[in-house]
């Protein structure tokens, strides 16, 4: 890898880490940014699905339902973008509800695992119940949920930055090992 590429990856890693720290320190800015991203991503997903539906409606069934879903995504994307404050405030609620739904799903699936003889089914049930309780607590403690969500976003961005830096370190070590091995082979060939 070229030295310039390594430098840019390290700079990107440091920037990711800095942005992650800002996300943790400033949950309000993090959630506002996440709300904008949610609106843009939902709008773009709806538009791309609508284009796909128009291009494939002649040979793919259910184009009507795909068109309806696309139009709903476009509507929600526009709604999120034009009601950014409400979207920002609703993110912690959506996060808590998602945790509750996933907890219910895990708890219900644990009984399916029990039926097929999985001996640790009770662990899945327990984790599902914990998720349900945490989700309910998240609905009751809006500020804590907002800070938790921002912290999770920040940590994931920090981990991305660390991964960039570790990749540079790993590639550098690999290049050094390959160079050393090539030199050993050259030395062995020169001695013959």
Average pLDDT value for residue range 162-171? 89
Q: Is the pLDDT of residue 71 over 90?
A: yes
Q: Which position has the higher pLDDT, 188 or 133?
A: 133
In this structure, what is the dihedral angle of CA atoms 129, 90, 48, 74, given to the nearest 10 degrees? 130
Enter the pTM of the model: 0.66
pLDDT value at position 140?
Answer: 92
Total domains, the chain: 1
Q: Is the pLDDT of residue 58 over 90?
A: no
Helix (DSSP H) and strand (DSSP E) numbers for the chain: 6, 0
Residue 22 makes CB contacts below 8 A (sequence gap 6+) with 29, 30, 154
Check whether 175 has a pLDDT greater than 90: no
> Are the CB atoms for 44 and 77 separated by under 8 Å?
yes
Lowest mean pLDDT segment, chosen from 59-68, 141-150, 158-167, 170-179: 59-68
Amino acid 4: pLDDT: 84
What is the rounded average pLDDT for all residues in the chain? 89
- With tokens 């070590």, the residue in question is 173
Half-sphere exposure of 92 (CA within 13 A, CB side): 24
Q: Which residues form the domain of 135?
A: 3-191
Name the pLDDT band for 188 (thresholds 50, 70, 90).
confident
Query: What pLDDT is attached to residue 76?
Result: 92
Give me the mean pLDDT over the 116-122 stretch: 88
DSSP 93-128: HHHHHHHHHHHHHHHHHHHHHHHTT-TTHHHHHHHH
User: Please, which pLDDT band fits residue 172 given cuts at 50, 70 and 90?
Assistant: confident
Q: Determine the pLDDT at residue 63.
A: 75
């Amino acid at each position: 890898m070229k030295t310039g590429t390594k430098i840019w990856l390290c700079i990107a890693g440091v920037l990711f880490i800095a942005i992650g720290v800002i996300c943790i320190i400033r949950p309000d800015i993090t959630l506002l940014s996440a709300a904008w991203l949610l609106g843009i991503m939902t709008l773009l997903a709806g538009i791309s699905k609508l284009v796909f539906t128009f291009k494939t409606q002649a040979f793919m069934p259910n184009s009507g339902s795909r068109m309806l879903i696309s139009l709903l995504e476009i509507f929600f994307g526009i709604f999120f973008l034009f009601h950014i404050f409400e979207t920002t405030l609703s993110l912690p609620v959506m996060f808590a509800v998602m945790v509750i739904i996933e907890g219910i799903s895990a708890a219900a699936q644990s009984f399916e695992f029990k039926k097929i003889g999985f001996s640790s089914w009770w662990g899945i049930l327990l984790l599902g119940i914990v998720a349900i309780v945490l989700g309910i607590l998240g609905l009751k403690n809006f500020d804590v949920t907002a800070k938790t969500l921002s912290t999770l976003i920040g940590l994931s961005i920090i981990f991305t930055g660390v991964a960039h830096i570790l990749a540079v370190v790993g590639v550098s070590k690999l290049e050094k090992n390959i160079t050393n091995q090539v030199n050993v082979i050259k030395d062995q060939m020169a001695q013959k």
